[in-house]
Amino acid sequence: MHFPEYYSRVLITGGSGFIGGSLVRRLLENTRAFIFNLDKISYASDHTSINNVLSKLGESASNRYKLLKVDLNDPDATLAAVRAADPDLVFHLAAESHVDRSINTPQCFVESNVKGTFHLLEALRQHWDALPNDRQKAFRLHHISTDEVFGSLGVTGSFNENTPYDPRSPYSATKAASDHLVMAWHHTYGLPSVITNCSNNYGPWQFPEKLIPLVILKAKLNQPIPLYGQGLNVRDWLYVEDHVDALLLVATSGQLGRHYCIGGSSERTNNEVVSAICTIMDNIDPAADPYFNLVSYVSDRPGHDLRYAIDSSLITQELNWQPSRSFEDGLKKTVLWYLNNMNWVHQRIS
């Protein structure tokens, strides 16, 4: 793994979330950097996977890791956390991310995704301005966003770095706003920044409100598997460890002021995803009836985008990245992990 040693102090916001936790674990296992995890510890946060790695690696890793329990909505606490971390590199992942929740409670999405990003940017601007010249030149902020800011595609075409923003839900609108704030601070104040927009992530340790772990849980409990509309919405699926590979490349080698789109090249309708999960479970954990019989089609949610797809050619050409896992292999690994960790799943939803 390529990771320059001059990034010796790394601040990760939302490091107790699904993607953030994967990034924290990777850096603990493969670098000597000091890792600061700024996380407010919400309902979807979980520290189990990080604790497992810290236990495995021992004192040397524990001495390089610190959890900063801070809500980005608190500007004073955010500034204090940035000063304590004194970072050379920042990954900003902290965000409310569940579309259904954004429809029901949009205010918390505005507060976390927009105001929280603003407070972080102001704290980082003060920090960056005060750095000595050599550290100031090396400093980077990597803001992690979503393909949902681009809106909805028809049956053809793909999102790329030149696609106009067209968010359709409170979640995607607040993420779009945070993207614009980051680029404004880059162009106005010179804060060295880069943005990535990724497709749907999946893999172990994801909170079971998301589609793939939710389907596994419902099937295992022999409960109805809810599927919006007719299950024809299309998403591009990206295994989380492949995403972490891309994040590290962009953060350390991407061109400042640029957007990079990261996709898994694995478009599937929701029907196809659920069917694939059910087939895997039919083979390894069979029930009396095929699991797909549990599917229950429910009314579509408001503003539900029809199709997302990403053209990742820029990051492939510039940084030689491409996903290393097929959807079939990644999905099987994910299903097996959840079936072997149902105690953790039940703890998360209790």
Distance CA 255, CA 208 (A): 35
- Catalytic residue chosen out of the listed positions 88, 147, 179, 245: 147
- Catalytic residue chosen out of the listed positions 71, 88, 148, 179: 148
Does 148 participate in catalysis according to the annotation?
yes
- Catalytic residue chosen out of the listed positions 7, 171, 202, 260: 171
The answer to whether residues 199 and 310 touch, using CB atoms and an 8 Å cutoff, is yes
Distances (CA, A) of 45 to 14, 81, 309: 8, 18, 28
Does 129 participate in catalysis according to the annotation?
no
Distance CA 140, CA 124 (A): 10
Q: Encode burial over 27-59: b for 16+ CB neighbours within 10 A, e otherwise.
A: bbeebebbbbbbbbeeebbbbebbeebbeeeee
Q: Which two tokens stand for residue 140?
A: 């980077």
Note the maximum CA span of the chain: 67
Distance CA 321, CA 262 (A): 9
Strand 234-239 relative to strand 267-269, pairing: antiparallel
**Phi, psi (degrees; rounded to nearest 5) at 80:** -65, -40
What helix, strand, coil percent values describe the chain, rounded to 5?
Answer: 50, 15, 35
Does 242 participate in catalysis according to the annotation?
no
Could you tell me which residues come within 8 angstroms of residue 69 by beta carbon, excluding any fewer than 6 positions away?
A: 39, 40, 41
Catalytic positions, written as ranges: 147-148, 171
